[in-house]
A and B are shown apart, each in its own frame.
Chain A
Amino acid sequence: MENSRRHFLKNTCALVAGVSVYPLSGNNAEMEPEINNIKYALLHDESKCIGCNACVEACREVNHVPEGVTRLSIEKTGPFGEYPNQYYHFSRHSCEHCENAPCVTVCPTGAAFIDKETGIVAVNADRCVGCLYCIAACPYEVRFINPVTKTADKCDFCRETNLKEGKQPACVEACPTKALVFGNLKDPESELVARLKANPTERYKQSLGTRPKIFRIKARQGEIIL
């Protein structure tokens, strides 16, 4: 009796240990080289952005985003500087297509996933049950429930729309000042890579280990803010 109990304990411990190590090994697989040579990213040159919101409207139209929610917004801060040389800062708020995406990690059904071919983080609407776990877990607060489909939704670099048609994402096409540059990080010839190499850029909340793929060129500060 004693013996069998000890045996049982030993086996269960091994089982529990095995189960808890399993996800770690899955994690390593993620680090392996991708099948394809595409890894999409986006650069927002804030020094060129004029806050016209053309990108927001284009996205709504192309991706049929209902009123009341949005995949993309331009946040305005300021004014900075002294009159008459005053200006605003604009920063883009949308999915960062994290390499290590918390939304993908937490999603119980695999509805939130990383497309291995392109590095795009997307949502499989069919699989989504609407548990809101991904919305709570995303450190960038860019996910929402689409009021029409009742499904988690967010920017997917127009994966289902413009990209399929061989076009640039809607926001990039719409921008009048060319403040948005979309491209493949693995293509050394691309404008994106050239711009990223030539300019100091910033990525948000890197300390969380999410490895986001929206890069930002900052506008001049004009003021000292502590």
Chain B
Amino acid sequence: MSAFHFDTLVWHWPIAIYLFLAGVSAGAMFFAVMLKHGCLKGKAYQSGFVQAACVVAAISVLAGLGVLVLDLTKPLHFWKILVFYNPMSVMSMGVIILMLYQVFMYAWIVITFKQPIDDLCKKRLPIVGKLTSVIARYEAGITGLLVIFSVSLGAYTGFLLSAQPHFPMWNTGVLPLLFLASGLSSGAAASLLGGVLLKGNPNGAEVRFIHKIEIPLILGEILLMFTFFLGLVFSGGQSKVAAFNAIGVGFWGFIFWFGIMGLGLSAPLAMNLFMTATSKRKFSYVAGTACLSLLGVILLRNFILYTGQMTVS
């Protein structure tokens, strides 16, 4: 059995990319909100990290949808997903979440960048200022809903897979939590990386704030990974076979132990602890750690997607 081609394979790597992008977007938006409300307040729009998070979130969710549409066998019929709904289908619910998420995402971005937007349009389009004021009145509600929808989006990427009785490795309730946690940390990583690239201070308050959340998040991810595989083993039967097929010897076993557990989780955890302990936060440290986290999450999505389909119920 080759790692990328086998009989029971249905969903290929574009789905992993889609799941990754949706997770990054949800995570980046989540951290943008946290940064604004937990750390920067009204000055949020000046922060390179918040700017980066917003850009990343907006682009990656669109790119993710693009990948999803192109991967359909009838891409030109994609609008049918938007018109016909099946309340029992996780994918259908996901589409609703994705749409509402984007509405609140743009609304929140407008509120957060109200100052520069108003300044820009003051002379020529004063109407824009009125519009932004109207939206800004609902800031509390929009922010709350955005957080709810970003968390839902992160978890949805897991539920999409776990709703399938065909593949025992996916068919578990831990998967959505695992994907949520890894989606959030990929969003944090993308914001940090984008932030330092946009000339954000690598030793700024934002970085310290994100690191404070990221360390427990990575520990949580490791714990969830452990629960995920131990749960599969204890379920016995094909679930157990699936677990050992995935993390045993072979290409995907290597990806799991070296790529995901090593480069993707342990290394960023060590770097974050080091940076917190020594307060040495340089551009290269922050950017390098973020790249490792992102790599780990891309690998995790592909690992779960492919190994999950190798063993059937």
Q: Give Cα A127 to B92, complex, Å.
A: 13
Assess the A132–B10 pair: CB atoms within 8 A. yes
Residue numbers in A under 8 Å from B84 (CB-CB): 108-111, 127
Residue on A with the closest CB to B309?
A136
Interface of B is mostly: loop
Distance of B180 from chain A, by nearest CB (Å):
15
Residue numbers in B under 8 Å from A105 (CB-CB): 88-89, 163
Distance of B264 from chain A, by nearest CB (Å):
25
Binds A, one of B57-65, B74-82, B189-197, B279-287: B74-82
Assess the B11–A102 pair: CB atoms within 8 A. no
Distance of A44 from chain B, by nearest CB (Å):
21
Q: How large is the interface on B (under 10, 10 to 19, 20 to 34, 35 or more residues)?
A: 20 to 34
Interface 0/1 of A21-50, CB less than 8 Å to B: 011001100000000000000000000000
Interface 0/1 of B196-226, CB less than 8 Å to A: 0000000000000000000000000000000
Assess the A141–B74 pair: CB atoms within 8 A. no
Q: Say if the beta carbon of B148 comes within 8 Å of chain A.
A: yes
A130: which of B8, B72, B86, B90 is its contact (CB, 8 Å)? B72
Distance of B255 from chain A, by nearest CB (Å):
21
Assess the A5–B166 pair: CB atoms within 8 A. no
Residue numbers in B under 8 Å from A208 (CB-CB): 165, 313
Binds B, one of A8-16, A69-77, A80-88, A173-181: A8-16
Residue on B with the closest CB to A150?
B73
Assess the B164–A136 pair: CB atoms within 8 A. yes
Residue numbers in B under 8 Å from A137 (CB-CB): 163-166
Q: How large is the interface on A (under 10, 10 to 19, 20 to 34, 35 or more residues)?
A: 35 or more
Residue on A with the closest CB to B9?
A136
Residue on B with the closest CB to A25?
B87
Which residue among B11, B165, B313 has the maximum number of chain A CB atoms within 10 Å of its CB?
A: B165
Which residue among A127, A131, A150 has the maximum number of chain B CB atoms within 10 Å of its CB?
A: A131
Q: Say if the beta carbon of A58 comes within 8 Å of chain B.
A: no
Within 8 A of B (CB), among A58-115: 102, 104-111
Which chain B residues have a beta carbon within 8 Å of chain A's beta carbons?
8, 10-11, 72-74, 77-78, 80-81, 84-92, 95, 140-141, 144-145, 148, 163-167, 309, 312-313
Which chain A residues have a beta carbon within 8 Å of chain B's beta carbons?
1, 4-5, 8-9, 12, 16, 22-23, 26-27, 102, 104-111, 127-133, 135-139, 141, 145, 150-151, 205, 208-210
List 21 interface pairs A-B (beta carbons < 8 Å), by A numbering.
Answer: A8-B140, A12-B144, A12-B145, A16-B148, A23-B87, A107-B89, A108-B84, A108-B85, A108-B91, A109-B84, A109-B85, A109-B86, A110-B85, A127-B80, A128-B74, A128-B77, A129-B73, A129-B74, A136-B167, A137-B163, A139-B165
3 pairs of A and B residues whose beta carbons are closest in the complex: A130-B73, A108-B91, A136-B10
